[in-house]
Amino acid sequence: MIQGSTPASERISIAFAGIRNAGKSSLMNHVFQREVSIVSPTPGTTTDPVARPMELGGLGPVTLHDTAGIDDTGALGELRVRRSMEVLGHADIRVLVTRSDLAPAEAELALVEALRGRGGPLVAALSFDDRPADPAKEAWLAGLALDGLVRVDNLSGRGAPELRECLIGLADRVDPEPSILEGLVREGELVLLVTPIDLGAPKGRLILPQVEAIRDLLDRDCMALVVKERELSEAYARLSGRPSLVVTDSQAFSKVAADLPEDQALTSFSILLARKKGDLATYLAGIDAIAGLEEGARILVLESCSHHRQAEDLGTVKIPRLFRQLAPRRAEFSFSRELPESEALREFSLVISCGGCMRTRRQVMGQLALIREAAVAVTNYGLFLAWANGLLPRAVEPLMATAK
């Protein structure tokens, strides 16, 4: 079980949940086989969700999440519970940690109801198994449709190996994220990747979607040709045959399209992420909604990561500028790294979200569901930039062909 470098967004998420002092942190330590969470008899020791990566047999790369007790109280306690429920809502597998020696608490009953409504496997870890079992707890668990039940001793760690095996056995119940080029390329094909290196590019490395694309092509026994946008025309002319696909950074869309034949299949890294993480049809509907925006409509630009914003930042500078140049109505822009609460969200007419490379598909889809519930249109950076450069529907045609 070696910690790897697989991005957190590509790992299966396993969250431990329960009331305070149920033994979540000590169980996580036993599963991880070293101390990764602080253990104390003081209630509320875990104040914020703790995430630790590991390799777990047939599940592969996973992230274990230790959460705060869902019965925490007070202003800070409510905030901790909300953050814990956010983690649990996005987890692929949830582990209910509950004391064997105590009757079910009201908070536990409510937690199970909430978790069962979110789908995905639910496993129970019956902690403090060195003590006499409470009959009410045994009866309650027996009546739940659990995907596994393991008895654990918090002090010795007995039962932790069985819990690991139980989790590994759920591999076929977890839907892994599709790869970034899933269904778009075949063995032996050539894909040309256009990767500008500008002030926004991280020093000494490529951005995550570019790395994902290269690795996916290698895994599929395809050929990858990587060029900067100013080298594209010469590189393309040297090829003896056409690439099956050209993928570009969205900000270079206009120049890249000008250097390619009109019938060359073309898309962007951000659009590939829109398909991988979210729902392409929803994002395209968001583009269609731009024409119907009213004067003074409020638009939320939503980012997922906390990168350092440059002078020509895409989300806060370039997208608003392009919108004002091209859209038929004036609009008021707001910028956030967190989705507002539903009431505040309803004040917006459109959300333009980033590619979500640092988020899991479950997180992005959950976010999309909340936006749809608020009756707000939503699109993606890549789709917006394709629209702004007059490259729709061309930029999505390669993806639509595989969806039919």
Please check whether residues 228 and 151 belong to one and the same domain: no
Position 240 in a domain: yes
What is the C-alpha R_g of the chain? 24
- Assess whether pLDDT exceeds 60 at residue 68: yes
Write the CB contacts of 210 (distance below 8 Å, at least 6 apart in sequence): 193, 195, 226, 249, 269
Give the domain-ending residue among 173, 200, 235. 173
Query: Does residue 37 register a pLDDT over 70?
Result: no
Do both 24 and 110 map to the same domain? yes
| CA distance linking residue 378 with residue 300, whole number of Å | 9
Identify whether residues 227 and 153 lie together within a single domain.
no
Residues 20, 146 within the same domain:
yes
Residue 292 lies in a domain: no
- The answer to whether residue 131 sits within a structural domain is yes
Element (H, E) at 115: helix 106-116
Q: Identify whether 301 is part of a domain.
A: no
Q: Identify whether residues 81 and 214 lie together within a single domain.
A: no
Regarding whether 65 and 12 lie in a shared domain, the answer is yes
CATH number at residue 25: 3.40.50.300
Cβ-contact 16, 49 below 8 angstroms: no
Look at residue 3 and tell me whether its pLDDT is greater than 50: no
Q: Tell me, what's the pLDDT at 1?
A: 37
- 73 and 151 co-located in one domain: yes
What is the per-residue pLDDT for 28? 86
Cα–Cα distance between 369 and 374 in angstroms, integer?
9
Task: Quick: pLDDT tens for 91-135.
Answer: 999 999 999 999 999 999 999 998 887 778 999 999 999 999 999
**236 in the same domain as 141:** no
- Domain assignment present for 368: no
161 with 41, same domain: the answer is yes
Residues 204-224 have pLDDT tens digits of 678 888 999 999 999 999 999
What's the pLDDT score for residue 50? 82
**Confidence check: pLDDT of 236 > 80:** yes
* Residue the block writes with tokens 């595989």: 402
Total number of domains constituting the chain: 2
Q: Residue 36: its pLDDT value, please? A: 53
Q: Which tokens sit at 361?
A: 């598909």
Cα gap 25→41, rounded to integer Å? 11
Distance CA 232, CA 193 (A): 9
**215 and 158 part of one domain:** no
* Cα distances (Å, whole numbers) of residue 27 to 55, 66, 356: 17, 9, 31
Domain co-membership, 149 together with 253: no
The CATH number that applies at residue 244 is 3.40.50.11420
What tokens does 187 get?
């063995």
- Judge whether 169 lies within some domain: yes
Residues 6+ apart with CB under 8 A from 292: none
pLDDT tens for 254-313 read 999 999 999 999 999 999 999 999 999 999 999 999 999 999 999 999 997 655 556 678
Kindly report the average pLDDT of the chain as a whole number. 88
Cα gap 366→376, rounded to integer Å: 14
- 3-state SS assignment for residue 266: strand
The rounded distance, in Å, linking the Cα atoms of 99 and 114 is: 19
Say how far apart CA 269 and CA 399 lie, in whole Å: 12
Domain containing 131 equals 8-173
What percent of the chain has a predicted confidence (pLDDT) above 90?
61
**pLDDT tens, 325-368?**
998 788 999 999 889 999 999 999 999 998 888 888 888 988 99
pLDDT grade for 199, boundaries at 50, 70 and 90: low
In a domain, 236, yes or no: yes
Kind plus residue range of the DSSP H or E element containing 139:
helix 135-142
Single residue among 269, 289, 316 that ends a domain in this structure: 269
Structure tokens at 393: 């529907």
Residues 103 and 35 in one domain: yes
- Domain contains 361: no
